Amino acid sequence: MVIMDQLISIVLPVFNEEAGIKATIDTLLNYVEQQKERYELIFVDDGSKDDSVKIIERSMQQNENIKLVKFSRNFGHQLAITAGLQYTTGEAVVVMDADLQDPPEVIPEMIQKWHEGYDIVYGKRIKRDGETIFKKITASAFYRIFKKMATIDMPLDTGDFRLMNRRAVNQLLKLHEQDPFVRGQVTWIGFKQTSVMYHRQERIAGETKYPLSKMIKLALDGITSFSMKPLQFANIFSVVPIVSGIFSLGYLLISRNYSLSSIGITILLFTLGLLLLSVGILGSYLGRVLEQVNDRPRFIVSETEGFQERNKGIRH
Ligand code: UDP
Ligand code: MG
């Protein structure tokens, strides 16, 4: 089923992209004009200090399908995406970089999968051009470590380039985390998800707006919002002093060497073990507090069947 008049919203976070934003807009408009769907392009200016806004506004005068949300300062890529989603009205929403690293030619493939019944279609990078070896290695390591630690099964090597249908976007917008890790949130909400492979291009112009400090913040936000494991590290580490303490006590009793230093070491090892254990226990409670504070919905129902009409409006 292909509905000719479907509206697709494209959300593009922008931070100091004056060097390439014009090319991005023109390429996207050119792409959009050849499609059967209707499109709106929603740019979210994340506190740019350059002429990005002026360039976008100039294009807006020629095309009413371009929209702009301006942040009062730089709040970061993830919040820019979240804000953009709030302003979308399309039946499906595509999120992409404003530097043409995510090729528009992939969008029809995503739409095709959506028409096949998928709620979320994420872009999986098979190749990344124009990025430093350091970035490729750290990104690849992060996704693999994250997979081991996190409670969600986030697909490897996916960024924020993806299509989501209306019901997925609406659920995503119910998450109100202060420092959102959007790609994790999207996995968390569930529904039918699939991927399309794509070749990540080189930036059209300018430098990456993700210096190491922002990459580290993103990685930490990801881990702290989807893994409680670091909170329990102390529990694991406590095993070392406790087991050593037991050996030390055994040695003390067998050798009958009751010197001050042997007794002291034994007591020290046990104390350290108990301290670490206490920290681990605190961590477990803190984990529960964090979950409560995150205030995500406890579950999401995708469909109900066989109910009478009056039971349909239950809210979660
Ligand atoms: N961006 C943003 N706020 C920031 C950093 C980046 O809105 O604080 C935008 C940026 O303009 C781009 C997208 O987010 O459209 C992804 O950033 P970038 O392309 O620099 O990241 P990379 O592709 O190098 O990982
Ligand atoms: Mg980019």
Over residues 15-66, the pLDDT tens digits come to 999 999 999 999 999 999 999 999 999 999 999 999 999 999 999 999 999 9
**Residue 286's pLDDT is what?**
93
Assembly ipTM: 0.98
Report whether residue 80 contacts ligand 1, using a CB cutoff of 6 Å: yes
pLDDT level of residue 316 (50, 70, 90 thresholds): low
Q: Which amino acid is at 105?
A: E
Mean pLDDT of 290-303: 93
- If you search the block for the tokens 């931070």, which residue do you land on? 15
- C-alpha 71/C-alpha 74 separation (Å) is 7
pLDDT level of residue 5 (50, 70, 90 thresholds): confident
pLDDT by residue (tens digit) across 192-238?
A: 999 999 998 888 888 989 888 999 999 999 999 999 999 988 999 99
Let me know: does 14 contact 52? Beta carbons within 8 Å.
Answer: yes
Report whether residue 136 contacts ligand 1, using a CB cutoff of 6 Å: no
Provide the phi-psi class of 274: left if phi over 0, else alpha when psi is between -120 and 50, else beta: alpha
Average pLDDT over all residues of the chain: 92
**How many C-beta atoms lie closer than 10 Å to residue 259's C-beta?**
10
pLDDT by residue (tens digit) across 111-160?
A: 999 999 999 999 998 877 777 888 888 888 999 999 999 999 999 888 89
Domain definitions of the chain by residue range: 7-209, 226-294
**Residue whose CA is at the smallest distance from ligand 1 atom 2:** 77
**Residue 204's pLDDT is what?**
87
pLDDT level of residue 315 (50, 70, 90 thresholds): low
**Residue 311's pLDDT is what?**
61
Instruction: Determine the topology of domain 7-209 in CATH.
Output: Spore Coat Polysaccharide Biosynthesis Protein SpsA; Chain A (3.90.550)
Report whether residue 13 contacts ligand 1, using a CB cutoff of 6 Å: yes
Which atom of ligand 1 is found nearest the CA of 45?
7
pLDDT level of residue 302 (50, 70, 90 thresholds): very high
Query: Of 158, 176, 164, 153, nearest to 120 (Cα)?
Result: 164
**Residue 4's pLDDT is what?**
62
**Residue 127's pLDDT is what?**
77
